[in-house]
Amino acid sequence: MAQYIIRRLLQSVLVILGVVTAVFIITNLTGDPVALMLGEASSAADQEALRKELGLDEPLYIQYFNFLSDAVRGDFQDSLRFGGFSSMEIVLDRFPRTIVLAVCALVVSVVLAVILGVISAVKRYSKLDNAVMFMALVGQSIPNFWLGIMLILIFAVNFGWLPSQGYELSARYLILPTITLAAPGLARLTRLTRSGMLDVLSADYVRTARAKGLREGVVVSRHALKNTAIPLVTVIGLDFGNLLAGAIITEQIFQIDGVGFLLVTAIGSRDFPVVQAAVFIIAASFVLINLAVDILYTWLDPRVRLT
């Protein structure tokens, strides 16, 4: 187990390095941030002085090696837009809001998906099953930006029950963005849970458990659901990473000042250090989540051996 974790951590470092390198190259090919910072009316001498101060007058490969040496220490330089503030500190200050939103969306989608998927599988081809599958199909078809706007229009504008934007650590501010962010994952996990449960419920060991006289609830929860969990855990791990990255749109709609909102603002202002720090945090979170999912396999299925 220890060797596997060490090997995966080394692979994770390479993945994060590749992602951050790609972002460094792309951001530096989008244009010169100095002209944007000083404005078109600035003189060439002022632009050249600022470019030299920021190290942007060096060749690209030298900028890259300087960037890597700083990134190893977690230093992505100061923000070009928020002068005097470390880019990493700015990102980490907003990261908890994105984490809270992603965790709330994940909990809602997983809990409801498991409940609806199990009920749908047990009541196969019933009216309830058809209704659940119809809602899952609709949930996967509706773009989340449209869903968010409709939720604001109905519950914030028409009824005035919930705020339309802003962030506070309270249910009133989290309900609408959580539903918006959780809807696609909820629909996908519900369909996956139903299909997995249908396969397991027809297995020999489930029929044996029923033949022993076990209650249906015990058969479903202790025998069938646990064996359905492995593909679910895989998708849940990927979904959590996608929620962190996908929160960009939701944060824009509800004006939540998280990492997604910051990333869009930094890209618009060509604040390269903030963009690189934000992508680093998101990529590292995604990789660590997938590592945790791989380790969780051994608990769900002792036959899985990480070698």
**% pLDDT > 70, the chain:** 90
The answer to whether 240 touches 289, Cβ cutoff 8 Å, is: yes
Helical segments of the chain, H only? 2-28, 33-38, 44-54, 60-72, 87-122, 127-141, 144-151, 171-201, 204-211, 216-218, 225-254, 259-268, 272-300
The backbone region for 180, taken as left when phi is positive above 0, alpha when psi lies in -120 to 50, beta otherwise, is alpha
Among 75, 98, 121, the domain boundary falls at 75
**Do 71 and 99 reside in the same domain of the chain?**
no
183 part of a folded domain: yes
Residue with tokens 């945090």: 281
For the stretch 128-166, pLDDT in tens is 888 888 888 888 888 888 888 999 999 988 888 888 888
Within a domain: 242: yes
Considering the chain, what is the average pLDDT of its residues?
80
* pLDDT value for 72: 77
Same domain, 114 and 18: no
Identify whether 164 is part of a domain: yes
Co-location of 50 and 125 in the same domain = no
**pLDDT at site 234:** 78
CA atoms within 13 Å, Cβ hemisphere of 47: 13
Same domain, 161 and 257: yes
* 135, 258: one domain: yes
Q: What is the pLDDT of residue 36?
A: 64
pLDDT band at 240; cut points 50, 70, 90: confident
Q: Do 298 and 229 touch, CB atoms closer than 8 A? A: no
Q: Which domain holds residue 113?
A: 88-300
Question: Do 271 and 200 belong together in one domain?
Answer: yes
pLDDT at position 119: 87
Domain membership flag for residue 185: yes
Nearest Cα to Cα of residue 247 among 96, 101, 89, 109? 101
Q: Where does a domain end: 75, 100, 129? A: 75
Same domain, 23 and 158: no
Query: Do residues 154 and 228 share a domain?
Result: yes
301 pLDDT more than 70:
no
**Where residue 156 sits, what CATH number does that domain have?**
1.10.3720.10
pLDDT at 307: 52
What percent of the chain is modeled with pLDDT above 90? Answer: 3
Number of domains in the chain: 2
Residue 210 lies in a domain: yes
Residue 241 lies in a domain: yes
pLDDT beyond 60 at 5: yes
Higher pLDDT, 249 or 219: 249
- Kindly report the number of other CB atoms within 10 A of residue 253's CB atom: 23
What span, in angstroms and rounded, lies between the C-alpha atoms of 302 and 245?
32
Q: Which of 33-47, 61-75, 252-266 has the highest mean pLDDT?
A: 252-266
pLDDT band for 19, please (50, 70, 90 cuts).
confident
Selection from 51, 64, 59 nearest residue 24 by Cα: 64
Q: Which of 7 and 94 is assigned the larger pLDDT? A: 94
Q: Do 139 and 26 fall into the same domain?
A: no
Question: CB–CB of 19/281 below 8 Å?
Answer: no
- Look at residue 225 and tell me whether its pLDDT is greater than 80: no
Residue 238 CA to residue 240 CA, distance in Å, equals 5
Q: What is the pTM of this model?
A: 0.79
Q: Please give the average per-residue pLDDT across 23-40, as a whole number.
A: 70
**pLDDT tens digits, one per residue of 112-123:** 988 898 888 888
| pLDDT tens-digit series, residues 166-212 | 888 788 888 899 998 888 888 888 888 888 888 887 777 777 777 77
Q: Which among 47, 75, 103 is the end of a domain?
A: 75
